[in-house]
Structure 1
């Protein structure tokens, strides 16, 4: 895609259906159709929008988390599976790129997973949050670096991170070095209070400036009844409210449209990717402004599995060879390319 192409993008401040996973998926599909009818070619949904973010984990002690945690296991989609099939069909039907957060179930573990569906319905990227934050460590397993790269889509080159991964400067730099043109960020929303929204704004506007790319962010929103269903303690209810900041940010750090900070809704706006070059002409963090001989990033983007099967290990000549940990040639080539890019 040409860097001068203008793209209409959308982001959704979604209200999940906490007592109906199918209901949340139905809302996702409705929003895809709605923004597509307005001409959007990209739509971003919040962190683990399907079936819902585990808000209870922020306000309940570990000893009381068993029942809701098991319910999340029951409702969490597999990838691929019926949920991803439905979203893929919607992306294909409407010719729109969809960035969706899900609680992914992989046998006995849940993962905070980001999915990018290209406009033809293909899953262009599946990545897992590399380090769940604070209370989230009781809910999700850790991801690896295999998804820590940008992907080419119908609207350009996209990268994605979830929530406090944006506080890991090396994770952000990996995507910058892979030349993301649009950064899709996902936060939970309805968490921590207004300070959380303020922190998101500072962090994401800075990333837009530092990376010289557009940032499209999505958060969720809960109403009072949903907050009361999570906890009946008024003091704890403050911990699962506020924190909403759904926004579209230009490479100069400005808001393309006024952000959503309360209530369910959506933003739709036209962006011009030529502005990326305008910003990078002055300051390209992974190009003329980098000093790779002084500072560089080492990235392991292999997919790590608990068992590494080496089919040639039984032969005498291969005893001393290192296993490839299931790494394919394209993955190896991509890792080498990112290393070269990060090193200038």
Structure 2
């Protein structure tokens, strides 16, 4: 017991490291060229690693592009809609796959942890649903986990399915505890609370760009498109409020990466989409930033640049911030408020036999002299438990 108590008393921040360098990779999305996107990603991972970064993050659905720049709906031109969606499916990422192996190798060569934003194609046999997904790679090249966005926002629902609570978690690593959420999950009150309550030290937040809700006119009204690009300090995107508040509430460092897309980033065969009335990527202007546990910027935000934003994160800042506000400690009131997380995977096909036929059960019953009815009840309980994992 004394040994366990000592381990708890001596628990460290950042796995005992005083400082960890992190990197927000603001690289342009390459529209519907998965191979080129992966090649660029691997180059940036290695560059960040060579510059001392131990944790590297990319923007939302970096591979192959954030699909909802193209605001397709029922009134869309069918030929254009067809081409966009087929290209999106053809260039999306399966987990695991040869694509993830290539990215993993780059992480291993660079010796970094990496959170990569992708359009993920469902790994369920026969399914082709896409998910807005973050993949966490380890410095050994392995996939440590993935997170599928729980609720697609606005017209994202035309493209992405809904994740579940099974991949809402924090990963204990040798550089600290890493967690991640996507875009407006940072406004989803109970989701972000659940993520915070797992005790992050580094939090990855990725986004499709930097926006405001239309342009304001002199009379205070709004005009133009719903999402309008903004890089102005006096007219900030809600993501800037979200990452600073998240950092303060969780007592973690937030690495925030937003999408960057320019006309030259469209592959030649897809450049005609630039002039489509359904297309708007004007707000894909980046905005990479890194925030400390006091909610202060320590790097960025940086707009309109193809760049990597770095920051050195100091473990003592977490310790100091939690003296003031510790959401898992002295500011936590589980006697008053508790949160239930459903952390099991949801499935639409459950096999009741789990490989055991009625004859199998009958044979087991006869050989063990355990009544068949009792075996069936035990098996039913086991199957229920398994289905919840």
| Interval of TM-score (by shorter of Structure 1 and Structure 2) | 0.7 to 0.9
The CA deviation at 1:259 is 1.6
The CA deviation at 1:289 is 0.5
- What TM-score, normalized by structure 2, do the two folds share? 0.78
Secondary structure at the counterpart of residue 256 of structure 1:
strand
Q: Do the aligned partners of residues 286 and 229 (structure 1) sit closer, same or farther apart at CA in structure 2, a change above 3 Å counting?
A: farther
Contact 1:49 1:102 in 2 (8 A): yes
**Partner of residue 107, structure 2:** 91
**Partner of residue 262, structure 1:** 304
Contact 2:26 2:260 in 1 (8 A): yes
**Partner of residue 119, structure 1:** 139
Contact 1:118 1:124 in 2 (8 A): yes
Distance across 2 between alignment mates of 1:52 and 1:35: 22
- What TM-score, normalized by structure 1, do the two folds share? 0.87
**Partner of residue 212, structure 1:** 251
Distance across 1 between alignment mates of 2:43 and 2:322: 37
Distance across 1 between alignment mates of 2:280 and 2:154: 18
Q: 1:61 aligns with which of 73, 76, 80?
A: 73
The CA deviation at 1:87 is 0.8
Distance across 1 between alignment mates of 2:273 and 2:210: 12
**Partner of residue 57, structure 2:** 44
Matched ranges for 1:172-211 at <5 A:
172-189=192-209, 192-195=227-230, 198-211=237-250
Mapped pair 1:2 → 2:12: yes
| Runs of 4+ that moved beyond 4 A | 225-229, 236-239, 312-315
Distance across 2 between alignment mates of 1:215 and 1:136: 24
Which range moves more in the overlay, 278-287 or 45-54?
278-287
**Partner of residue 221, structure 2:** none
Contact 2:258 2:287 in 1 (8 A): yes
Mapped pair 1:72 → 2:64: no
Q: How many residues align?
A: 326
Secondary structure at the counterpart of residue 306 of structure 1:
coil
Q: Do the aligned partners of residues 225 and 121 (structure 1) sit closer, same or farther apart at CA in structure 2, a change above 3 Å counting?
A: closer
The CA deviation at 1:239 is 5.5
Structure 2: runs of 5+ lacking an equivalent = 1-10, 212-226, 359-371
